[in-house]
Structure 1
Amino acid sequence: MVGHPVSQQVVHAVADAESVPKTELTPLAKSIDPESLNTLFLSNPKTKKKFRFEYEGYIVVVEDQNSVTLSDSPECGLDKSGIE
């Protein structure tokens, strides 16, 4: 989903992992502000970024603008900020 906002990439990835339509997921805004997530990855695109948060039982890791990884493992770890 290159070219789509990061928030949409997250929802799409989780829906695919769960094999459900996106409309069956909890709104992303219940976990994180989607616009802030998009803004974080659009600002200073040459700066490497990594952000982790929990959504629908997954640890979501977003790196740069087009890399969304899901983990259901607690070993992935979340610190308080979620930002590296």
Structure 2
Amino acid sequence: MSRLPRRPYVDHAAVAARARQQAGEWQVVGEYRSRVPAEGAAHTTRTARPRRSGTTSPYAPAGAYETKLQLTEYGCLVLVKYVGGGAG
């Protein structure tokens, strides 16, 4: 049984910056192999939870971004939209 190829690395700082520049428009974060990790990525984005302690999420402040999921042939696509505001 062969392994599936690795997904490309997601540059979340670049995605967040692009979403801020194009506020109100949906931007692709990445495609995940299943809905479970995609939901985790979407939740982390909406809540602006940093991946490591001592760091700041590029999606801060919490609530400044909306997310949605789209099922694809190969997994689940995560999309993000900057809506401003947030808990900051």
Fold similarity call, TM over 0.5: no
Larger radius of gyration, structure 1 or 2?
Answer: 2
With the length of structure 1 as denominator, give the TM-score of the two structures.
0.34
With the length of structure 2 as denominator, give the TM-score of the two structures.
0.33
